[in-house]
Amino acid sequence: MSPSLLIKDVRIFDGENEIPNGSVLVENGLIKYVSPGSLEATDESTIVLSKPGYTLIPGIIDGHVHTHLDKENTGLAQSLKFGVTTACDMHQEAEDVAAVREEAARNPDISDFKTSSSAATVLGGWPAAVVTAFDTSEETLAKVATWPNLQTLDDVEAYIQDRIKDKADYIKLMHEDGSSLSVKPTVPPLELQKAIVDAAHRHGFVAVAHSLSLQGTLDILRAGVDGLTHTFCDKPPTKELIDAYLANNAHCNPTLATIGSLTTEGKKEQEAYAHDPRVEKLLSAHGKAALCECMAFSSDSARVEYAYQSVREMRAAGIDIILGSDSAGPARGTGFGITAHHELALLVKKCGFTPKEALRSATSLVAKRLRFHDRGRIAEGLRADLVLVEGNPLEDIDHTLDLRGVWKQGILCSTYKDLVA
Ligand SMILES: [Zn+2]
């Protein structure tokens, strides 16, 4: 059992509200007590950190990544260093899911892992069309061949049963028509998509969907999904779009940084992050190089400004915007963990969010929308997934990168071990 931890004399953003000066007591991996003012430890063995001028926030929940099984768990390890205590995978090989989940539960130096397991893919659809357009290695083709291929309504129940076996945390649909892209994937029929959503709901799952086009988003919302894992960038938003979101009470995880890499309009910002000393020291040489490149496979009409505009209008209409980066090993222009901070900055700088709203989108709101009841806020009884930064990110969102401590279930990530030395 690890000793208790008392963090005091800090500003606290608890996922919803701010305590200008408060204390948090952690015991056995859980938050035992949160209070305004400066608490005293009652037990000698308690580690006490008094950090005036610092801010404690809930661990960031990145609502959209693709992390694959590898020896070093590269994606989840880097995520945690950047304060992402939970990473939500949105499609991968079903056969790898159990091993990644076990490793995440065992290893205090990698993020916790949630997953859709394999999305409801079809032959020639998303993401096979894009993956095989850029990589035709035998290994990749073999991997793609293991993905589901739903063809008729009769395949739906078996697909959902497989996800129940995988202990999937939510169901992910793919609805990509290619309007924003230079590749044109096969789009599953709406009748099939509707059956998948209905079956997901029948079994108690949240159903979220990928689409990068306005029409695709409208269609898949009409199929009943609870949220989108992207906004779109082929056209400006319409009133019809806002109404479709509102009709489902659906959320949007816009992935603005990824869309900037797709159209290449985000390249300068990506480079600025890659060369920021706070970021550079947490990236591998390969990770730094990848962050400076762009996906660059958008259609001629695609504009990142349409994506920003859609988020501004959704925010004004009261639609829940949740943070997810879409970081993935092969996804150029993204980096595990760092792209979550890039996304926070874009919500504030391009979409009119206050820093507090952006931080809420990255913590309590992701937990609420994806139904993780044990995390996302600094509240008694929840997991002690915590991030300590120097400065006040509620004033300047850039301070989320002034990372000084990251705890997953009350255990300090070893990158920050000097904090308690
Ligand atoms: Zn994705």
Q: Give pLDDT, residue 1.
A: 63
Please state whether beta strands 207-210 and 227-228 pair in parallel, antiparallel, or not at all (unpaired).
parallel
Tell me the pLDDT tens digit for each residue of 257-278.
Answer: 999 999 999 999 999 999 999 9
Tell me how far the alpha carbon of residue 277 is from its chain's centroid. Answer: 23
Q: Does residue 119 contact residue 89 with C-beta atoms inside 8 Å?
A: no
Residue in 386, 319, 304 with CA at minimum distance from that of residue 353: 319
Partners of 113 in beta bridges: 87
Question: Helices then strands (H, E): number in the chain?
Answer: 16, 16
Tell me the pLDDT tens digit for each residue of 177-205.
Answer: 999 999 999 999 999 999 999 999 999 99
* Number of structural domains found in the chain: 2
Q: Does residue 208 contact residue 172 with C-beta atoms inside 8 Å?
A: yes
Q: Give pLDDT, residue 303.
A: 97
For 240-266, the three-class secondary structure string (H helix, E strand, C coil) is HHHHHHHHHCCEECCCHHHHHHHHCCC
What's the rounded mean pLDDT across residues 89-96?
94
- Tell me, in angstroms, the distance from the centre of ligand 1 to residue 101's CA: 19
Q: Are 354 and 368 found together in one domain?
A: yes
Q: Are 18 and 97 found together in one domain?
A: no
For the cut 80, the answer to whether the pLDDT of residue 2 exceeds it is no
Q: Are 54 and 169 found together in one domain?
A: no
Q: Are 255 and 343 found together in one domain?
A: yes
Q: Half-sphere exposure of 406 toward its Cβ, with a 13 Å CA cutoff?
A: 27
- Tell me, in angstroms, the distance from the centre of ligand 1 to residue 89's CA: 8
- Tell me, in angstroms, the distance from the centre of ligand 1 to residue 408's CA: 24
Whole-model pTM: value is: 0.98
Q: Give pLDDT, residue 331.
A: 84
Tell me the pLDDT tens digit for each residue of 107-132.
Answer: 999 999 999 999 999 999 999 998 89
- Tell me, in angstroms, the distance from the centre of ligand 1 to residue 288's CA: 20
- Tell me, in angstroms, the distance from the centre of ligand 1 to residue 50's CA: 39
Burial of 285 (C-beta count, 10 Å sphere; 0-12/13-18/19+): exposed
Q: Are 64 and 188 found together in one domain?
A: yes
Crossing angle between the packed helical segments 267-274 and 256-263, to the nearest 10 degrees: 110
What's the rounded mean pLDDT across residues 314-333?
95
Q: Does residue 212 contact residue 175 with C-beta atoms inside 8 Å?
A: no
Provide the domain limits for residue 18.
1-59+375-421
Q: Are 284 and 410 found together in one domain?
A: no
Q: Are 7 and 133 found together in one domain?
A: no
SS3 187: coil
CA separation for the pair 320, 376 (Å, rounded): 15
Please state whether beta strands 403-408 and 411-412 pair in parallel, antiparallel, or not at all (unpaired).
antiparallel
CA separation for the pair 146, 29 (Å, rounded): 37
Q: Are 145 and 286 found together in one domain?
A: yes
What's the rounded mean pLDDT across residues 371-381?
98
Q: What is the mean pLDDT of the chain?
A: 96
Range name among 60-64, 70-74, 106-110, 368-372 with the lowest pLDDT average: 70-74
SS3 86: strand
Q: Are 177 and 207 found together in one domain?
A: yes
Q: Are 338 and 302 found together in one domain?
A: yes
- Tell me, in angstroms, the distance from the centre of ligand 1 to residue 165's CA: 22
For the cut 80, the answer to whether the pLDDT of residue 72 exceeds it is no
Burial per residue of 206-227, b for 16 or more beta-carbon CB atoms within 10 angstroms, e otherwise: bbbbbbbbbebbbbbbebbbbb
- Tell me, in angstroms, the distance from the centre of ligand 1 to residue 65's CA: 6
